[in-house]
Chain A
Amino acid sequence: MSTKVVMEALSPTMEEGRVVEWKKQEGEAVAVGDVLAEVETDKAVMELVARAAGTMLKHVVAAGATVPVSELVAVIGEPGEAVEAGGNGKKAEGRKDGKPDAPAAAEPAKPAPAKPDSAKTEAPTPGAPAPGTQPTADRENRPTSMPPAPPAAAATEGGRVKASPLARKIAAERGLDLQGVAGSGPQGRIVQRDLAALSARPASAAAAPQVPAFRPIPAGEPFADVPLTQIRKTIARRLAQSLGPVPTFYLTIEVDMERVAEAREALNAAGQGKISFNDITIKAVALALRQHPACNAWWQDDHIRYWNEVHVSMAVAIEDGLITPVIRHADQKGLRQIAAESKDLAGRARERKLAPEEYTGGTFSVSNLGMLDIEEFTAIINPPEAGIIAIGRIAEKPVVHEGTIVPRKRMRLTMSCDHRVIDGATGAQFLQTLKGMLENPLALVW
């Protein structure tokens, strides 16, 4: 028996909704509680959820359509079930007289395999799923070649999850999926006690909503896995919708490099190998990450991994692409060591001689196009890392310094942030620290 899906009032003031995207395509299996479509209300983009199980027979309206509340938007039913052209969810009735000939156009006839002309009547009806799109989790023993039986109460019940109101509430709070849970109540009703075992498993969503975005990592642990809060999940989902798989935003800061330049000159004058601006920036980034652990993290889909170790990936251009060798524990290494390592890694990267462990496992990235005279640019985040800093060229610019316009060496840093992990202010504070370090390079030494 088919079920009409109507535009629901997803907010108290909603009068109409726009179908942003169908999440269940025609022919796809639908379980109760599945998200059928994303609907833009007057306030937000919300989920239109299935109230019945079966197969998505028809989208009555296309994505992008705006539909008044209570109007039909789709029909769910048995695979192969007929849907009226108007989409009114007419149920498919088997013929009562048993005669397979002269069926109504959109009405599958009863099976009569012995009679060849019955095959005609089994042709897919308008709006029915194409052959081969039967849901794998199918009804009992019904042969797939058979036209759908007339609606039986049991058939409708087949896909519906029976659970007590309390069990549903607990499941919603803990983010548990009741589909497939064995109910111990009458007729398989899922009751509170059936969820005890489920809630015991480390469900990522089971965390209390008051989990802070960042907590100090216990000393000695290489990392801490922090479950996602509801807000964090929502931010992740919403931003991913708008910007793609990694919802990125960009922060640019201009740094005065006069004193770094002086320091570098002095260091290089002392011999023992050259230290680049890049090396200094890597060191500063590593130290700043130490102060801003919220930026030193991996997005792990259902949780965020905050690292207690700082491993800086540096983008190195190679012949037909780029690779990101990692300076491990960059915060604990001296500038000379960083310089030596980065030179070695970059060299071997260009020769394609890096071992996999040498270009994986970074916790944050830097990318430098300054040597190619790029003023500033935005870099693409290297997942699962949550941030990358794009280093622009160092150029002399007229700036107001202590009341007069003077030429000074300036550099622009642009940080790309994964908004699922790093919020605007979090990233900005990190950049502020980084700028402070570069403008007072003694901080790098101490």
Chain B
Amino acid sequence: MPTLTYRDALNQALREEMQRDDRVFLMGEEVGVYQGAYKVSRGLLEEFGARRVVDTPITELGFAGVGVGAAMVGLRPVIEMMTFNFALLAVDQIVNSAAKMRYMSNGQVGVPMVVRGPGGAALQLGAQHSQAFESWYAHIPGLKVVMPATPADAKGLLKSAIRDDNPVIFIEGEMLYNTKGEVPEGEYTIPLGVADIKREGTDVTIVCHSKTVAVALKAAEQLAADGISAEVIDLRTIRPLDTRTVLESVARTHRCVVVEEGWHFAGVGAQVVDTIQREIFDALDAPVLRVTGAEVPMPYNKQLEKLAKADPAKVIAAVRQVLYVD
């Protein structure tokens, strides 16, 4: 199986879907001539031409709206947001139009659109460019929210997202684009709404997604050195949430820590905890703990930024707490 970067896995998925279905087109800032701010769309303009790889002005609300309209009349737009920080401008189109259309048209008109781009923090991009907004979109009925953590998942999930008949918010990560992994060639899809056990364990379940999968795996590795066996569940899709995989795991391990990049209050982890305590209360031997970003705008200062992020040390501390060690 070839080893690809996350970036190239996305590129492969886009290319294959555009080859497979000529209704699929890519639109966004710098996706064409510049081949993408993060080079995800490299070679696509050349292969598919300017009609299907469309450079836009810096008008997120505008081209998101064009995407909704195109989707309503039968195309399958992939709208690239340079980052999801900029997609804030397009939230009206995403929430009020894309998410509502099927419902308000009594099912007559759907919006099969993918809005994709990197989310969350990278390194020292400052408070306005370092935000994880998945919980915002996951809050909206009518939207699906997908967040792959590995190159293979990026390919398989993007292909499924493009084929899905509903608006899908597809959040990547700037820090993920250069990560490498084996990616199956050709037709390879992963269904939306299915979590993945990235590491099996028996003592505690660590639920995570996107960039925090690597954090959790690193923590699990260090915990194993102390004889603690952690299971790492990558949600992969935030909504619909694969509660079954999470619940089955926690029912076995009796302890859980939920990790995410975003802020604590009303975060994705809050939804996970809600489900666990409601469905399998009697399986719990400890309160479910959450490791999140600090409740502050992301500091620019390098050291403070490091402190504000979820990291393996924080995950390990939470795991030890739910295991009542120390």
* Distance to closest chain A CB from B276 (angstroms): 11
Number of residues from B at the complex interface, CB < 8 A: 8
Q: Is A70's beta carbon under 8 Å from chain B?
A: no
* Distance to closest chain A CB from B255 (angstroms): 9
Bound state CA distance, A30 and B7, in angstroms?
65
Chain A, residue nearest B277 (CB): A165
Would B285 and A166 count as touching, CB distance under 8 A? yes
Would A165 and B324 count as touching, CB distance under 8 A? no
Q: Is A209's beta carbon under 8 Å from chain B?
A: no
Would A191 and B284 count as touching, CB distance under 8 A? no
B286 surroundings in chain A (CB, below 8 A)? 164, 185, 191
Bound state CA distance, A165 and B324, in angstroms?
15
Bound state CA distance, A185 and B287, in angstroms?
11
Bound state CA distance, A120 and B282, in angstroms?
49
Q: Is B308's beta carbon under 8 Å from chain A?
A: no
Bound state CA distance, A24 and B284, in angstroms?
32
Per-position contact with B for A157-195: 1 when CB-CB < 8 Å, else 0? Answer: 000000011111100000000000000111000011100
B284 surroundings in chain A (CB, below 8 A)? 164-166
Q: List residues of B (225-264) whose CB comes within 8 Å of A's CBs.
A: 254
B34 surroundings in chain A (CB, below 8 A)? none
Number of residues from A at the complex interface, CB < 8 A: 12
Would B282 and A166 count as touching, CB distance under 8 A? yes
B270 surroundings in chain A (CB, below 8 A)? none
Bound state CA distance, A184 and B323, in angstroms?
11
Q: Is B265's beta carbon under 8 Å from chain A?
A: no
Most chain B beta carbons < 10 A, residue from A164, A169, A184, A186: A164
Bound state CA distance, A169 and B251, in angstroms?
13
Q: Is B281's beta carbon under 8 Å from chain A?
A: yes
Would A167 and B285 count as touching, CB distance under 8 A? yes
A184 touching B324 in the complex, CB below 8 Å, given contacts A165-B283, A166-B284, A191-B286: yes
Bound state CA distance, A191 and B283, in angstroms?
11
B324 surroundings in chain A (CB, below 8 A)? 184-186, 191, 193
* Distance to closest chain B CB from A25 (angstroms): 32
Would A168 and B285 count as touching, CB distance under 8 A? no
Bound state CA distance, A192 and B286, in angstroms?
9
Q: List residues of B (275-299) whose CB comes within 8 Å of A's CBs.
A: 281-286
Would A168 and B254 count as touching, CB distance under 8 A? no
* Distance to closest chain A CB from B204 (angstroms): 12
* Distance to closest chain B CB from A190 (angstroms): 10
Chain B, residue nearest A192 (CB): B285
* Distance to closest chain B CB from A189 (angstroms): 8
Chain B, residue nearest A185 (CB): B324
Bound state CA distance, A341 and B63, in angstroms?
108
Which single member of A166, A185, A186 contacts B283 (CB below 8 Å)? Answer: A166
Which single member of A168, A185, A186 contacts B282 (CB below 8 Å)? Answer: A168
A166 surroundings in chain B (CB, below 8 A)? 254, 282-285
Bound state CA distance, A168 and B285, in angstroms?
9
Bound state CA distance, A184 and B326, in angstroms?
11
* Distance to closest chain A CB from B237 (angstroms): 28
B285 surroundings in chain A (CB, below 8 A)? 164-167, 191-192
A164 surroundings in chain B (CB, below 8 A)? 284-286
* Distance to closest chain A CB from B205 (angstroms): 14
Bound state CA distance, A184 and B282, in angstroms?
19
Chain A, residue nearest B254 (CB): A166
Bound state CA distance, A192 and B324, in angstroms?
10
Chain A, residue nearest B282 (CB): A169
Chain B, residue nearest A163 (CB): B285
Per-position contact with A for B297-326: 1 when CB-CB < 8 Å, else 0? Answer: 000000000000000000000000000100
Bound state CA distance, A166 and B284, in angstroms?
5
Would A192 and B254 count as touching, CB distance under 8 A? yes
Bound state CA distance, A168 and B284, in angstroms?
10
Bound state CA distance, A85 and B293, in angstroms?
54
* Distance to closest chain B CB from A170 (angstroms): 9
Bound state CA distance, A433 and B254, in angstroms?
53
* Distance to closest chain B CB from A183 (angstroms): 10
Bound state CA distance, A337 and B286, in angstroms?
68
Bound state CA distance, A228 and B283, in angstroms?
26
* Distance to closest chain A CB from B285 (angstroms): 4
Chain A, residue nearest B281 (CB): A165
* Distance to closest chain A CB from B309 (angstroms): 27
Bound state CA distance, A167 and B281, in angstroms?
11
Bound state CA distance, A162 and B254, in angstroms?
17
* Distance to closest chain B CB from A302 (angstroms): 25
Bound state CA distance, A300 and B286, in angstroms?
38
Bound state CA distance, A185 and B325, in angstroms?
9
Bound state CA distance, A185 and B324, in angstroms?
6
A168 surroundings in chain B (CB, below 8 A)? 282
Bound state CA distance, A193 and B325, in angstroms?
11
* Distance to closest chain B CB from A207 (angstroms): 21
Chain B, residue nearest A166 (CB): B285
Q: List residues of B (152-178) whose CB comes within 8 Å of A's CBs.
A: none
Bound state CA distance, A193 and B282, in angstroms?
15
Bound state CA distance, A168 and B283, in angstroms?
10
Chain B, residue nearest A172 (CB): B282
Per-position contact with B for A181-225: 1 when CB-CB < 8 Å, else 0? Answer: 000111000011100000000000000000000000000000000
Bound state CA distance, A15 and B282, in angstroms?
27
Bound state CA distance, A164 and B284, in angstroms?
7
Per-position contact with B for A402-419: 1 when CB-CB < 8 Å, else 0? Answer: 000000000000000000
A191 surroundings in chain B (CB, below 8 A)? 285-286, 324
Chain B, residue nearest A164 (CB): B285
Bound state CA distance, A184 and B281, in angstroms?
20
B283 surroundings in chain A (CB, below 8 A)? 165-166, 169
B281 surroundings in chain A (CB, below 8 A)? 165
Bound state CA distance, A291 and B286, in angstroms?
53
Bound state CA distance, A352 and B229, in angstroms?
71
B254 surroundings in chain A (CB, below 8 A)? 166, 192
A to B CB contacts below 8 Å, 27 in the list: A164-B284, A164-B285, A164-B286, A165-B281, A165-B282, A165-B283, A165-B284, A165-B285, A166-B254, A166-B282, A166-B283, A166-B284, A166-B285, A167-B285, A168-B282, A169-B282, A169-B283, A184-B324, A185-B286, A185-B324, A186-B324, A191-B285, A191-B286, A191-B324, A192-B254, A192-B285, A193-B324
Residue numbers of A with Cβ under 8 A of B are 164-169, 184-186, 191-193
Which are the 3 A-B pairs with shortest beta-carbon distances? A166-B285, A169-B282, A164-B285
A166-B285, A184-B324 known; 11 new pairs, CB 8 Å cut-off, are A164-B284, A164-B286, A165-B282, A166-B254, A166-B284, A169-B282, A169-B283, A191-B285, A191-B286, A191-B324, A193-B324
